[in-house]
Structure 1
């Protein structure tokens, strides 16, 4: 089973981002997704910088994928998307239908691309449509569970790589409005790039002080950290091909190593989960995988 590092969902300073990916060249990860998927105003790295990182990681033996933006809102966004699709070197993860159209339309459609988790694939017919259009891998939406994923794969009736969101704060929703800017009483277009101050987003609590959500620009995330470390025996038994680990402000490399050790049988899965708890920015959850409310932490009997 392969480990994938998902695209960086947060806005980190340029040097921090470059140092992070330099470390990932030696990390036990097979696939690295690169690019800005959340907000087009995040310009610490441009596409040319992402491509340079991609070449470095490819030279270190990683499979590199360029991820497209989830919400394309301007001609500038579309121009960047066209360049990603036409890069000619790396596979592309399509995260909206505009990217799918560019990949599959025209005189030379791309025959090997990845259907991202925000394409709303919730039934075999939809999955089959994307497979017919040339997608060779799909990333299951993080809110669907083990049984639904199995049903989709069985209903598809053909071989296709399956990747699931295995670790990180759950991306729950996207909006044209920036909630981080609003938190500081700023307009989206004059946000002062406040996201740079929060390596793991802005935590929100209920009036009673319980963790509630996380603000990350136009993206709303869970407060708890979804992790399937303790569920790896079931994940392996289901024949899932790829596990996606989402970058976090600290300890991403350590989390990747725990996943690798657990998959290789060097550490029992539940022991790996216990070792991971001090490395997480918030308490763990795995409810969605078990077909329960996502906020729950469910331990199988």
Structure 2
């Protein structure tokens, strides 16, 4: 299976972002996603900067470069930027909103469908394949059983089936809102947030009243409290015919994460269990580690 590095979900400084991608260019990755998917107020890099970075990386890595679009469009200015992104004519686009699907399909451009498109059955998948989607990242809550049934349904009915890219490591994007939770937590209005997200390079932990980690707040995005890790499920994903595994950027330690997945895909024995949650893969609450709960 191929490995991809997903778009950065958090708000990092321009230099931190540039340094991160410079380091990723030397890693054994088959695709690298760039771009802002969460909040248009995060202006450390403009759309032109992202496109320029993708062009620069082309000379440093053999990995495919992809620009990801926003998952929640809230203003005409964001729609205008999305249109420019889809019309760039050079770099592949990941559509995370149906507006992007419309722009790309109208231009006859092939694209990747991101996890926020909320596709759950083979007929919906076939419709987007007809519109140009050649790779699909299922929603993070999809289980192995759901994916197996979807693939079986597509093959039995003769429906279009794109390459499938599984969200295999990282904080899980669970929901988006018009409210900025990080600004609210700091008693700041959304329109005058002071870019407070930069103070939380891996999001703001949200605990339950009992002190249990529950979610991670990341601006308008709600993430899982823990990191999802499907490395132990590698043989099962391989048996399903999964084409690519997505690793989502974290502030530190990504080289070690990439190495662990790379070693397994090159023949090393996958671990029996890993740190991190994997409940969704088994059709259980996502925060669970099913090995510990005795559910697998």
Q: Normalized against structure 1, the TM-score is what?
A: 0.92
- Secondary structure of 2:174's counterpart equals strand
- 1:109-258 equivalence runs, <5 A: 109-110=108-109, 112-157=110-155, 158-258=160-260
| Distance in 1 (alpha carbons) for counterparts of 2:151 and 2:113 | 14
User: CA offsets per residue over residues 121-175 of structure 1, 9 Å max, x none?
Assistant: 0111111110111111111000010010111122223442001110001101000
- Secondary structure of 2:271's counterpart equals helix
| Distance in 2 (alpha carbons) for counterparts of 1:159 and 1:184 | 45
| Distance in 1 (alpha carbons) for counterparts of 2:80 and 2:256 | 37
Q: Which runs of 4+ in 1 moved over 4 A?
A: none
Give the drift of 1:49.
1.4
Q: Determine whether 1:290 maps to 2:282.
A: yes
| Distance in 1 (alpha carbons) for counterparts of 2:191 and 2:250 | 26
Partner of 1:92: 93
8 A Cα contact 2:134 2:162, kept in partner: yes
Partner of 2:53: 53
| Distance in 1 (alpha carbons) for counterparts of 2:266 and 2:24 | 19
8 A Cα contact 2:129 2:161, kept in partner: no
| Distance in 2 (alpha carbons) for counterparts of 1:57 and 1:228 | 28
User: CA offsets per residue over residues 215-261 of structure 1, 9 Å max, x none?
Assistant: 00000011011110111111112110010100011011210111001
| Distance in 2 (alpha carbons) for counterparts of 1:35 and 1:13 | 13
8 A Cα contact 2:173 2:224, kept in partner: yes
| Distance in 2 (alpha carbons) for counterparts of 1:24 and 1:12 | 15
Partner of 2:72: 71
Q: Which runs of 5+ in 2 are unaligned?
A: none
8 A Cα contact 2:95 2:113, kept in partner: yes
| Distance in 2 (alpha carbons) for counterparts of 1:56 and 1:229 | 31
User: What's the C-alpha RMSD, in Å, of the aligned pairs?
Assistant: 1.4
Give the drift of 1:205.
1.1
- Secondary structure of 2:41's counterpart equals coil
- Secondary structure of 1:42's counterpart equals coil
Partner of 2:24: 24
Q: Which runs of 5+ in 1 are unaligned?
A: 278-283
Structure 1 range deviating more: 51-60 or 125-134:
51-60
